[in-house]
A and B are shown apart, each in its own frame.
Chain A
Amino acid sequence: MGEAIVVTSGKGGVGKTTTSANIGTALALQGKKVCLIDTDIGLRNLDVVMGLENRIIYDLVDVVEERCKIHQALVKDKRFDDLLYLLPAAQTSDKTAVHPKQMKELVLKLKQDYDYIIIDCPAGIEQGYKNAVAGADKAIVVTTPEVSSVRDADRVIGLLEKEDHIESPMLVINRIRNHMMKNGDMLDIDEVTSHLSIGLLGIVADDDEVIKASNSGEPIALNPNSKSSLAYRNIARRILGETVPLQHLEEESKGMFARIKMFFGAK
């Protein structure tokens, strides 16, 4: 029996879809069988970020309305040998096409066959959010170190804590700009975590490579040389129960000492 994790944030544009894609990819790299579900019906993106857009035949709404079997709608990621699948959202319907109860049943069925179900939640806290959360056992809240994004994350955490079937949510801080944090122009990691007071699952630096990778349909987690890739892989390892220290966000190291520090810190 697998585990269903919803990736949510409240605010749009903080990187839910990128985070979902990369955590899913990183878990598959660790040899886990993963199914990604895009619940952003009407505004689907996850398929584009994963580079699987052209293989979609059926979608989430087709499954829910029983126009096809679940396995027919699942898109297999060829880069992995039978480990990574995507259940894409419909592009032509809207969020009301699916009911939370149907999502719950669907996720329950998928949990039989997969180790991890990663559910990409749409922005907002309406129907789409309710659908995404309905079947989840765990939740990852994505935020950026901006006041507005932290405020919305706080709201979503409050809502998630009311859901009895979800364990206490975990936090991912995305798009960290180290130089701004140092200058105090941006909330720092401690401020964000103490404000939201939930466990920190990982931090991801703002990185041009992530955008490049998303545009080319290759999740950054597949690139072994990128810092952001490492960040996502670390998150995946933490989900699997390993203890991995937080990545150091230092820019290119200047001295020997800094390099040693980085070596230990960013293992």
Chain B
Amino acid sequence: MKRKQLVTIKGTKSGLSLHLHDNCSYEDMMRELEEKLRESSSMHGEKQNITVNVELGNRYITENQKEELVEAIQSKKNLSVQDINSNIITKSEAEQIAQENEIVSVASIVRSGQVLEVPGDLLLIGDVNPGGKVVAGGNIYIMGSLKGVAHAGVNGNEKAIVAASVMRPTQLRINTLITRAPDEYPEKDKRDMECAYVDNSEIMIDRLQVLTHLRPNLTKLEGGQNNG
């Protein structure tokens, strides 16, 4: 019987692509991978760094196994792992992704000392009072006045925006950027229907209408994560 290849190495424009067979045991696969890498290391003499994309097919590997895999590949001279792709994710990962893409609507007033946190987008029907805080993994839409702190895109989403009917925050945060309010809001400055977004590593505040151009994906139904 002809033995099936468990590891296939393909060269692409961007580097190497490792296809790992998904119907054998993890141990067998790792053994063959290490063998193959040992062979190939003698072939590639050059110093140049080669990026590797790992294709797992329909195999699920744990975080530990992932580390093992990366270690095995990167121990070989000038290979660096760029990406590990699998068709399989766990239920909890799937749920997390679903949550991160969800718009959660909340009808309440976030008062001083209260923190409202959601993994995805937040639609708040009510005010955020000074001393109160809203935090979202995605965008924050407030149908009321924002007078407290809003933090959008906490998990590293710089495309996240904050929109509010009345924009008078004490502090605005998007991803890792922070701006604070001017020490005094001019009396006649109405600040109605505005949005905050990141442009050139700076938080900008503008009319709500500019979003159509800046974040055209916001209007799509997919929600938060697809903004970028």
Contacts and interface: CB of A to CB of B under 8 A. Distances in A.
A binds B: yes
Interface in A141-176: 151-152, 154-155, 157-159, 161
A154 B114 CA distance: 10
A161 B114 CA distance: 11
B170 to A, nearest CB: 11
A195 B129 contact: yes
B127 A154 contact: no
A197 interface: yes
Nearest to A197: B109
How extensive is the interface on chain B, given as a class?
Answer: 10 to 19
A145 to B, nearest CB: 15
Contacts of B191: none
B109 A151 contact: no
Contacts of A154: 111-112, 129-132
A192 to B, nearest CB: 12
Name, among B111, B113, B127, B129, the residue most crowded by chain A CB atoms within 10 Å (CB to CB): B111
Contact of A152 (B109, B112, B132): B112
Contacts of A157: 111
A158 B113 contact: yes
A151 B147 CA distance: 12
Contacts of B112: 151-152, 154-155, 158
Contacts of A159: 113
Contacts of B127: 197
Q: Among the interface residues B112, B127, B130, B131, which one has the most CB atoms of the partner chain A within 10 A?
A: B112
A216 B142 CA distance: 51
A197 B110 CA distance: 11
A154 B131 CA distance: 9
Nearest to A125: B113
Nearest to B144: A197
Contacts of A195: 129
Given A152-B112, A197-B127, 16 more contacts: A151-B131, A154-B111, A154-B112, A154-B130, A154-B131, A154-B132, A155-B111, A155-B112, A155-B113, A155-B131, A157-B111, A158-B112, A158-B114, A158-B132, A161-B111, A195-B129
18 contacts: A151-B112, A151-B130, A151-B131, A154-B111, A154-B112, A154-B129, A154-B131, A154-B132, A155-B111, A155-B112, A155-B113, A155-B131, A157-B111, A158-B113, A159-B113, A195-B129, A197-B109, A197-B127
Interface of A: 151-152, 154-155, 157-159, 161, 195, 197
Q: Which 5 A-B pairs have the closest CB atoms?
A: A158-B111, A155-B112, A154-B112, A155-B113, A154-B111
